[in-house]
Structure 1
């Protein structure tokens, strides 16, 4: 098993983001909002949205993105073949990183349960 985060695992184009946003299957916590849409690629893909409203400093926004990408990289093998967009709602620091990772895990688990119940 490889734990790489290659280009094929990223949402890059505007229309890819738009198709996930238009489906509006979403779950949220205080820190994040996660949107999901099934894809036919056989693997999960990730898109990130961290706006200036979250934090004005690019350093902090980039830290949030790195944290989310790292979580996705380590957990992508257990995720269903869907396109995910993670939108940050609040900034967090290194001290709050563990809480943010737990919030991400919870959101993705909720989306998986929602998908499992809707497909049965």
Structure 2
């Protein structure tokens, strides 16, 4: 019966995923806030392409492995297809070449680490807090 439930009721994979404390990055003004807040708390930006299978796979793995809390860092999510202007400004402001998917760690107003594709899940965030 479980097999048929999976086929007809949709994937249980999405239902079983844990929800992270994502802050949606939808306005250029938020980049100024991220820069300021990074002086007292680590800020992380995840740039995701909603049409890319690799990006979706990396995001799912990131969410599955994530173990930190809001006490450790703020976690921003950027849908770069809908907010490409913000993605471009991130590249300029934090001096990081645009890639997708991409994760940036911001401290003291600067990108102290960044990775793309499979490297995202190799990045040990706990060492960067």
Higher alpha-carbon Rg: 2
Q: Same fold (TM over 0.5)?
A: no
If each structure's strand is expressed as a fraction of its own residues, which one has the higher value? 2
If each structure's helix is expressed as a fraction of its own residues, which one has the higher value? 1
Classify the TM-score, shorter chain: 0.3 to 0.5
What TM-score comes out, normalization by structure 2 length? 0.37
